[in-house]
Chains A and B, each alone.
Chain A
Amino acid sequence: MSDLTDLYQQVILDHNKRPRNRGKLPTANRVAHGDNPTCGDQCSVYLRLDGDRVAEISFDGSGCAISQASASLMTTQVKGKTPAEIEALFKNFHHIVTTGEMPEDISDIAAFAGVHTFPARIKCATLGWHAALNALKGDPTTVKTE
């Protein structure tokens, strides 16, 4: 079971059960939708960009624990940041989920390190992030992680 408890860290189970910033954001000025056609995971990201910072953000969707917890955690991490900072965060996150290596200054995101031993699940972990990045780019087309 050790690989599984690595994959489903307490932080992930917690975000899955009690998602943060879930639901539509009426004040949003950016929206993007992420879709994982092979398994049906879906994630919409709503955000309000104020100047060059994300003032508010929320997500909505359905899918596996990894995709939903990752989207939830993502919203807590990107709030108040600039698009450039968010891209840097995503780079770190992507590095963690694909290699399992953990840079020291990374907080809760490190909970996703266990994903790297389950390559089929990397696309679940990155779905919300891709949607957020697309929302920032002002690209409303559906992103597909497959």
Chain B
Amino acid sequence: MPDWNQIRLDFPTLRQEVNGKPLVYLDSGATSQKPQVVLDSLARFYLKDNANVHRGIHALSMRATDAFEGARARTARFINAADSAEIVFTRGTTESVNLVASSWCSANLRKGDVVLLTEMEHHSNLVPWQQAAARAGATLRYVPVVGADAELGLDLEALDRLLTPEVKLFAFTHSSNTLGIINPAAELCARARKVGSLTLIDAAQSIGHLPVDVQALGCDFLAFSGHKMLGPTGIGVLYGRKALLDAMPPYQTGGGMISSVDFFESRWKPSPERFEAGTPNVADAVSLAVAMDYLDGIGREAIEAHDRELGAYMMESLADVSGIRILGPRAGMPRSGLVSFALADAHAHDVVTFADQDGIALRGGHHCNQPMMRKLGLASTSRASCYVYNTREDIDRMVASLRRIVKFFSGA
């Protein structure tokens, strides 16, 4: 069992006071803090190895190239990809989804085709498909989110009706950034495959929180961001099956992605270089690999259990806060360490301002889930999301702060 109190000490950002109180960081769903080893890696790269990759013959360039390609291999191992050529470095989840929505859809999506999504998608895994569908004359379908506040989940029975042969791609989130629900991703992929649909998993909230094995999941594409898994901002990954990637047209064009250029036409390299036009984000890719080592040092099963334990503790501790409406999955469904709630007496923005005065970082708003929030009849919720550095004491402090907030606003 990892020593979570010891792990917390690895994160320099957490060693500070905010508004005179020790910081309690409960906003890892938006972005995670970084351990010292990741910060050291960024500094080390720029202090010692900095050079452009590929094309170079000199020592530093070779070192930078080795580190960059090493990060790709490390990423392949992290998600159990069959081949490191299946790993494309991007800016993050958003760019990874856009890459597929732009490149794959332009070559494969036709009038009358359907892209299937779920109602709990982040705008990043929704708007790019709206655009791609509009360009192709295709349509979107959504797997509904059903159930009462604390019994929410995807309507898996509706899936048979929705997954018709017109569905060419099913894109869904592994773990919801608003509901704390972990979806049965392997089952969803298997059911899509039966009708010949490809699958894309938005793993932004699951990567680094639980074991992710693309071969066991059986997905065709998987997208994630480095910054939500203890890595730097500005780096992310698109995993795609090699045969699919090699058949896709480029996303952006320029240096690094061509095999030969003539004045009037050019030829592309195979994946992954085909999709990495221009100088890549070398320092952040290299440091993302360090974050992967760090996470595997703790163990992703252990992190999953820690998240689940804190998520359950939050649900339990929040239950008797007066006037609270807690969103979450039905009993027995796997949940993450992220909980959204609304208070009858205080709006999410007031809650977040108040909590901030107590040194507690929460997030309030629609969490880039506007259509679903509208359906649930909520303009906004407050959200607390945990990671490896959080403890029960953090949650106790948040709940104490919430009780003061309720008292303040209901007493007025």
CA distance A142 to B284 in the complex (A): 40
Asked if B1 CB lies within 8 Å of chain A CBs, one says: no
Asked if A41 CB lies within 8 Å of chain B CBs, one says: yes
Q: In chain A, what residue has the closest Cβ to B408?
A: A8
CA distance A7 to B349 in the complex (A): 13
Task: Kindly list chain A residues whose C-beta atoms are within 8 Å of the C-beta of B364.
Answer: 39
**Interface of chain B residues 358 through 390 with chain A (CB within 8 A):** 364-366, 370, 373, 379-380
Asked if A28 CB lies within 8 Å of chain B CBs, one says: no
CA distance A39 to B412 in the complex (A): 23
Asked if A110 CB lies within 8 Å of chain B CBs, one says: no
Number of A-B contacts (CB under 8 A): 55
Q: In chain A, what residue has the closest Cβ to B354?
A: A4
Interface string of B256-295 (1 = CB under 8 A from A): 0000000000000000000000000000000000000000
Asked if B108 CB lies within 8 Å of chain A CBs, one says: no
Asked if A58 CB lies within 8 Å of chain B CBs, one says: no
A39 and B348 within 8 A (CB)? yes
Interface string of A48-73 (1 = CB under 8 A from B): 00000000000000111111100000
CA distance A41 to B379 in the complex (A): 8
Q: In chain A, what residue has the closest Cβ to B374?
A: A40
CA distance A10 to B373 in the complex (A): 31
B interface residues, how many (CB within 8 angstroms): 19
CA distance A66 to B408 in the complex (A): 14
Task: Kindly list chain B residues whose C-beta atoms are within 8 Å of the C-beta of A68.
Answer: 347
Task: Kindly list chain A residues whose C-beta atoms are within 8 Å of the C-beta of B19.
Answer: 3
CA distance A71 to B289 in the complex (A): 50
Asked if B51 CB lies within 8 Å of chain A CBs, one says: no
Asked if A17 CB lies within 8 Å of chain B CBs, one says: yes
The smallest C-beta distance from B342 to any residue of chain A, in angstroms, reads 11
Task: Kindly list chain A residues whose C-beta atoms are within 8 Å of the C-beta of B408.
Answer: 4, 8
Asked if B346 CB lies within 8 Å of chain A CBs, one says: yes
Asked if B151 CB lies within 8 Å of chain A CBs, one says: no
**Interface of chain A residues 99 through 139 with chain B (CB within 8 A):** 118, 120-121, 124
CA distance A80 to B153 in the complex (A): 52
Q: In chain A, what residue has the closest Cβ to B373?
A: A40
A-side interface mostly: helix
Asked if B409 CB lies within 8 Å of chain A CBs, one says: yes
Asked if A44 CB lies within 8 Å of chain B CBs, one says: no
A65 and B380 within 8 A (CB)? no
Asked if B353 CB lies within 8 Å of chain A CBs, one says: yes
Task: Kindly list chain B residues whose C-beta atoms are within 8 Å of the C-beta of A41.
Answer: 349, 379
Q: Tell which of B347, B366, B412 touches A64, judged by Cβ atoms closer than 8 Å.
A: B347
The smallest C-beta distance from B357 to any residue of chain A, in angstroms, reads 5
A121 and B412 within 8 A (CB)? no
A40 and B366 in contact, given A65-B409, A66-B349 (Cβ under 8 angstroms): yes
Task: Kindly list chain B residues whose C-beta atoms are within 8 Å of the C-beta of A7.
Answer: 353
B379 and A121 within 8 A (CB)? no
Task: Kindly list chain B residues whose C-beta atoms are within 8 Å of the C-beta of A63.
Answer: 347, 349, 379
Q: In chain A, what residue has the closest Cβ to B347?
A: A64
Q: In chain A, what residue has the closest Cβ to B367?
A: A40
A64 and B348 in contact, given A38-B365, A42-B379 (Cβ under 8 angstroms): yes
B347 and A65 within 8 A (CB)? yes
A39 and B353 within 8 A (CB)? no
Asked if B350 CB lies within 8 Å of chain A CBs, one says: yes
CA distance A10 to B19 in the complex (A): 23
CA distance A4 to B358 in the complex (A): 10
Q: Which of A1, A3, A40, A63 has the most CB of B within 10 A?
A: A40
B357 and A65 within 8 A (CB)? no
Q: Tell which of B365, B409, B412 touches A40, judged by Cβ atoms closer than 8 Å.
A: B365
A39 and B349 within 8 A (CB)? yes
Listed by A's residue number, 21 A-B pairs whose Cβ atoms lie within 8 Å are A1-B357, A3-B19, A3-B357, A8-B412, A13-B409, A14-B412, A39-B366, A40-B373, A40-B379, A40-B380, A41-B349, A41-B379, A62-B379, A63-B379, A64-B347, A64-B348, A65-B347, A67-B349, A68-B347, A121-B349, A124-B349
Not counting A62-B379, A65-B347, a sample of 13 additional A-B residue pairs whose C-beta atoms are within 8 angstroms of each other reads: A4-B408, A8-B350, A8-B412, A16-B409, A16-B412, A39-B349, A39-B365, A40-B370, A40-B379, A66-B350, A67-B349, A121-B349, A124-B349
